[in-house]
């Protein structure tokens, strides 16, 4: 097995770096101590990896190395520029996000504990149109803090609403949420089941 084939198994960045070092960079030589890989210097590659590890911020020991602290944005490709022009120059590229989620996919995402923002929006949208199951699901999400902020008074109110829509288990769930609320939270809601 050659050195290059062994390097290709260790990752793309390491491979590019090693090939650039083996071949002397794109021009075949090292000019002024600048080895290039994918058109980037070793320092730029290093800074990029440090930025990823530090959520986009560079520590002070990196900032004094002579390069700008903020990455320079890449120019748009001709296709991106054309798409931007078709969007009335709004500055936003539009992409087709595919088919909307089915209700079963939404429920599966919520049950999995990590619903996408699209799933949360679909639950809210359906709840606003009077779907009792969606209102009950949104109440459960608020009671457990799944996809939304945990808010027991809001969960209680939604369970009361779902109960008035004919959802059988909603009254029992509203009672359980009411019992788990503290005194201040209970003061925020009106319990119609007393």
Mark whether 124 and 172 lie in a shared domain.
yes
Q: What is the pLDDT of residue 28?
A: 43
Mark whether 117 and 183 lie in a shared domain.
yes
Which residues have C-beta within 8 Å of that of residue 166, sequence separation ≥ 6?
Answer: 132
Q: What is the pLDDT of residue 6?
A: 45
Q: Is residue 86 part of a domain?
A: no
CA separation for the pair 32, 41 (Å, rounded):
11
E strand residue ranges, the chain: 36-37, 40-41
Q: Is residue 141 part of a domain?
A: yes
Q: Is residue 82 part of a domain?
A: no
Mark whether 111 and 52 lie in a shared domain.
no
pLDDT < 70 stretches in the chain: 1-40, 42-43, 46-47, 50-73, 84-97
Mark whether 51 and 115 lie in a shared domain.
no
- Interval 131-146: pLDDT, tens: 999 999 999 999 999 9
Q: Is residue 153 part of a domain?
A: yes
Mark whether 51 and 111 lie in a shared domain.
no
Mark whether 57 and 119 lie in a shared domain.
no
Q: What is the pLDDT of residue 166?
A: 92
Provide the domain limits for residue 25. Answer: 3-63
Four-point Cα dihedral 54, 56, 62, 65, nearest 10: 160
- Do residues 86 and 94 lie in contact, with contact meaning Cβ atoms separated by under 8 Å? no
Mark whether 46 and 114 lie in a shared domain.
no
Q: Is residue 69 part of a domain?
A: no
Mark whether 59 and 107 lie in a shared domain.
no
Q: Is residue 48 part of a domain?
A: yes
Query: Which of the listed residues 63, 86, 115 is the one where a domain comes to its end?
Result: 63
Q: What is the pLDDT of residue 26?
A: 46
Mark whether 184 and 122 lie in a shared domain.
yes
Element (DSSP H or E) covering residue 187: helix 183-188
Mark whether 113 and 183 lie in a shared domain.
yes
Count of domains forming the chain: 2
Q: What is the pLDDT of residue 75?
A: 79
Q: What is the pLDDT of residue 5?
A: 47
Q: What is the pLDDT of residue 114?
A: 86
Quote the pTM value: 0.51
């Amino acid at each position: 097995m050659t050195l290059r084939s062994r390097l290709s198994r260790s990752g793309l960045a390491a491979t590019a770096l090693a090939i650039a070092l083996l071949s002397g960079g794109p021009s075949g030589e090292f000019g002024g101590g600048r080895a290039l890989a994918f058109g980037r210097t070793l320092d730029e590659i290093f800074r990029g990896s440090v930025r990823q590890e530090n959520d986009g911020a560079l520590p002070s020991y990196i900032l004094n190395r002579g390069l700008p602290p903020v990455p320079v944005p890449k120019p748009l490709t001709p296709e991106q520029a054309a798409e931007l022009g078709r969007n009335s120059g709004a500055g936003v590229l539009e992409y087709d996000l595919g088919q909307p989620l089915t209700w079963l996919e939404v429920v599966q995402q919520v049950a999995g504990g990590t619903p996408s923002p699209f799933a949360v929006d679909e639950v809210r949208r359906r709840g606003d149109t009077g779907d009792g199951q969606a209102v009950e699901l949104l109440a459960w999400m608020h009671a457990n803090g799944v996809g939304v902020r945990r808010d027991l008074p809001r969960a209680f109110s939604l369970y009361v609403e779902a109960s008035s829509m004919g959802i059988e288990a909603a009254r029992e769930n509203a009672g359980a949420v009411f019992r788990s609320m503290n005194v201040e939270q209970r003061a925020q809601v009106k319990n119609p089941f007393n």
